[in-house]
Structure 1
Amino acid sequence: MGAALALAGALGIDPLVTAELLPAIEAVMVRKLNEHLAEAQDYI
Structure 2
Amino acid sequence: MWDLVQAAGGQLRLAPMGGVIGFDMTALLAMARARGVDPVATAELLPHVEAVVVETLQKRSEEARGDGGAMGAD
* Residues 1:25 and 2:49 aligned together: yes
- Give ranges in structure 1 of 5+ residues lacking alignment: none
- Give ranges in structure 2 of 5+ residues lacking alignment: 1-24, 67-74
Q: Give 1 or 2: higher strand fraction.
A: 2
RMSD of equivalent CA atoms? 1.2
What is the aligned-residue identity percentage?
52
**When the two structures are superposed, what TM-score results if normalisation uses the length of structure 2?**
0.49
Cα deviation 1:3-35 (Å, max 9, x = unaligned): 110122232211111001122111111111111
Residue-pair matches, total = 42
